[in-house]
Structure formats: structure tokens, C-alpha cells
Amino acid sequence: MSSVLIVDDAELFREALKAAFVQEGFSVVGAAADAMAAIDLAREHRPDLVMLDVLMPGMSGLEVVGAIVKASPTTRVVLLTSSESAEDLLSAVKVGASGYMTKDTPLPRLVAAMHDVLQGGAAVSPAMGGKLFSALRDLLRHQGSAAARTPELTGRELEILELVGGGKTSKEIADELYISVNTVRNHVRNVLDKLGMKSRFEAVNWAQREGLIDVR
């Protein structure tokens, strides 16, 4: 019999979910209304599955996922949410969640989907399936574009971009690197041409986002 821990600060929803799992043959080893209690119960019982509300008092559900997986590495965590944001869904995947189900999913369907999760699969509400693929497609397109552009920038160009991001003028950069102001400007112009951008600050933001420079 698979064990499940239910974590939600809404008592009525918590009890309804508990009844649905019991009816499906699960063993409900505990229920919690806040993040710290959830982590403690997961550490104590090491359940097969945790059903976790994203919006928790004291700590977000996304933060709790990592803490639960650390406390009980074999536990599968499924997030329950009212949000249909593709960004939130990707965040859930990144922190290690095995599922992302909206709370308007009928409880029998939600509980039935957990059998797939326990077999190593994942559960996503039907309404979120298309958004997941769209978000992944956009992410891969962005990464592919970045990968294609990254090798074109030289170490000197990245160095200058980092200094531009730090608020230095062309004259200050020239003095620091012992090169002429015209050379600095040429490097910046080359970067913009390579990246197809119009503003040096747009280039700085891109390079920082891609982890190529560290602007302090």
C-alpha cells in the first residue's frame, strides 16, 4: 500500500483529498497545514508521495519541495495549485516536483494520476499540458539561440561588457584596460553587430542572463 502525506492550509480541501486517497487504497500517513510541519512529517514517515500546496504559510511550496526531497530522497512530490502559469510550472519542474496539478482537477482523476507518478512518471493537469510544451519549446529556442551566439564573443568583448554593466564610461574602461577609447567603442560595436542588438545595455543584460558576465 502506497503512503501519502497531504499538505494544504485549507482544512476542507485537506480532508476531501484525504478521503479521496483512502478510497483509492492509499495509506494517508499524515496531514499538515504549514511548511515546517510538512518537512518534519516527511522526514519522520518518508512517504511514497507528498501532495503539496504551492501557497504555504511561512515558506513557498517550491522551497518546500527541495527540503522534502533532501529529507526523504525517494519521496515523490506533487504540487497543488490554483495557478495556470507556464512560468510557475517550469519552476516546479526545476525544483524537482514530479507533478503539477490544478486544484480544480476532479479529485478522483487527481488521485488516479498519482499511480503513474509512483511508477516513475509525472502528472500535469490537462489544462497545463499545452502550456508545458509551449514553455519548453520557447526555452529550447532561447537556449539554442544563445548557444549559437555565445562562441562569437571574445574574452575581451565580454570583459568590456562586464565593465559597461558596472557603469563605467568608455574613457574609464579604456584607462583600466590600457587601450584607446576608440578601441573600446569598436569592441562594443562588434558585440552589438554579432548579437543583432541596438543597445550596449541590452547586450549587457543578455550576457548577464546567460551567465557570461558578473555585474556587481
CB–CB of 123/80 below 8 Å? Answer: no
CA neighbor of 47 nearest in space, from 2, 78, 8: 2
Digit-coded pLDDT (tens) for 19-62: 999 999 999 999 999 889 999 999 999 999 999 998 877 778 88
Q: Are strands 27-32 and 123-124 parallel, antiparallel or unpaired?
A: unpaired
The mean pLDDT value for 148-177 works out to 85
Count the residues in the chain.
216
The mean pLDDT value for 2-30 works out to 93
> % helix / strand / coil in the chain, to the nearest 5?
60, 15, 30
Element (H, E) at 180: none
CA neighbor of 210 nearest in space, from 134, 149, 135, 138: 149
46, HSE (Cβ side, Cα atoms, 13 Å) = 5
In words, the CATH class of domain 3-127 is alpha beta
- Please give the pLDDT value at position 160: 92
Element (H, E) at 191: helix 181-195
Question: For residues 24 and 192, what is the distance between their CA atoms, to the nearest angstrom?
Answer: 59
Digit-coded pLDDT (tens) for 72-100: 889 999 999 887 777 777 788 888 889 88
Domain range summary for the chain, segments of one domain joined by + = 3-127, 147-209
CATH code assigned to 147-209: 1.10.10.10
Question: For residues 215 and 38, what is the distance between their CA atoms, to the nearest angstrom?
Answer: 38
Q: Can 3-127 and 147-209 be said to share one CATH topology?
A: no
Question: For residues 110 and 118, what is the distance between their CA atoms, to the nearest angstrom?
Answer: 13
- Whole-number Cα distances in Å, 175 to 91, 186, 215: 43, 15, 19
The mean pLDDT value for 126-133 works out to 67
Instruction: Quote the radius of gyration of the chain (alpha carbons, Å).
Output: 24
